[in-house]
Amino acid sequence: MALIQWSGDWETGNPVIDYDHQMLVTITNQIFEIRRAPGITNGKIKQALIQLVRYVDQHFAREEALFSQTDYPHVAKHVAMHRELEKVVGEIVDLFEREPDLLNLDEVIEFLRRWLVDHILKHDMGYKKYLS
């Protein structure tokens, strides 16, 4: 069973952003499944974390470009949340590369789940009405 179930209630109305959100859910679910699988390897975990970092960066760039086309009043706060997640995820990957045994992957997965769901439902839904 997936960690996060996508819901149509999470859609912003922008097909690119909605696809990105679905992909972020998928990648987070993949990390969860890798963690649960027998014979887990550090290589698989690292690959999934790097995939997450890359997709987060791409998504944030697309979302922030979209903001420039709207009158969304909370751009600075929203972008600051993006930078904070990039920083945290970067630190997670750095720690995993240096000392993989120190990283509590279950805590990382729960952090990602909470952040992603909270961010989409509370913050991304906040700009939905500004999209044309």
3-state secondary structure of 44: helix
Whole-number pLDDT of residue 40: 80
List, run by run, the mean pLDDT of 10-residue segments along the chain (132 residues): 93 96 96 89 90 96 96 97 95 92 92 95 94 80
Report how many domains make up the chain: 1
Q: In CATH, what number is assigned to the domain containing residue 65?
A: 1.20.120.50
Inside any domain, residue 79: yes
Inside any domain, residue 4: no
Whole-number pLDDT of residue 127: 95
**What domain range includes position 26?**
12-130
Asked if 123 contacts 10 with a C-beta cutoff of 8 angstroms, the reply is no
pTM value? 0.92
- The three-point CA angle 92-66-51 to 5° equals 30
